[in-house]
Amino acid sequence: MEKIRIAVQKSGRLNQDSLKILKDCGISIENGKDQLKASARNFPLEVFYLRNGDIPQYLRDGVVDIAIIGENVLVEKGADIDFTDRLGFSKCKVSLAVPKGVAYNSVTDFEGKRIATSYPNTVKNYLAEKGVSAELHIINGSVEIAPNIGLADAICDIVSSGSTLFKNNLKEVEIMFTSEAVLAVSPKISDARRAILEKIRFRIQSVLQARE
């Protein structure tokens, strides 16, 4: 029987909750996350453990059929990819922040400023909509350090507890959007696999309802 291929974050914020929701759906995955690929014992499904940022391309190429992924990553790298369900975990904001001591009035304050971020497309589109142009510095991690070392005037990153902003003396000044884990679908999914997807969605919806 054909199996549906699902991408799950290999390590990081979404990994555990992603596996938990599959488990709560009654799908038991055979191997631990040390292996990059695993099968379900009792459901036609294969799990691929992948890097977050690579997942949109895998979906686009049809190498995986579905994925549990943060909306923040889809907005940044997979604006062309649809999702069927919000999954209610890994909630965060995607925000702009500036040093605490800096006076802030409105988004036009970012005009001509240097913004450090791992979300260049998101920031570019957001600011373009407001008619603001800024200079983007793309970095992959520890973004919040950038203003302190003189690399940037501001940052854009995800905010969850807010503790990273706090520790780096930054204040959130614009929330661009709120994000959570979603179930994304490859534009190339076959009809047979879409039928399996519908079974998973049915189970997910009852799990989410029970969690309320």
Q: Using CB under 6 A, list all residues that contact ligand PRP.
A: 141-144, 157-164
Q: Minimum distance from CB of 102 to ligand PRP (Å)?
A: 19
Q: What's at 186, amino acid-wise?
A: S
- Interior CA angle at 141 toward 169 and 106, to 5°? 50
Between residues 90 and 186, which has the closer beta carbon with respect to ligand PRP? Answer: 90
Least Å from the CB of residue 168 to ligand PRP = 9
Residue 117: name the closest of 92, 133, 137, 134 by CA.
Answer: 137
The continuous run of DSSP H or E covering 174 comes out as strand 170-179
Q: How far is the CB of 166 from ligand PRP (least distance, A)?
A: 8
For ligand PRP, give the closer residue by CB, 66 or 92.
92
Token pair, residue 70, equals 């943060």
State the minimum distance, in angstroms, from the CB of residue 15 to ligand PRP: 12
CB of 151 to ligand PRP, least distance (A): 14
User: What letter represents residue 54's amino acid?
Assistant: D
Residue 87, Cβ neighbours under 10 Å: how many?
Answer: 22
d(CA 22, CA 200) in angstroms, rounded, equals: 9
Indicate the residue whose CB is closest to ligand PRP.
Answer: 141
Q: How far is the CB of 83 from ligand PRP (least distance, A)?
A: 21
Measured from the CB atom, is 21 or 159 closer to ligand PRP?
159
38 vs 97, beta carbon nearer ligand PRP: 97
Query: Between 45 and 165, whose beta carbon lies closer to ligand PRP?
Result: 165
Amino acid symbol at 53: G
Residues sharing a CB contact under 8 Å with residue 107, sequence separation 6 or more, in sequence order: 96, 127, 130, 132, 174
Q: Under a CB-based contact definition with an 8 Å cutoff, are residues 197 and 185 in contact?
A: yes
The residue among 23 and 167 lying less far from ligand PRP, judged by its C-beta, is 167
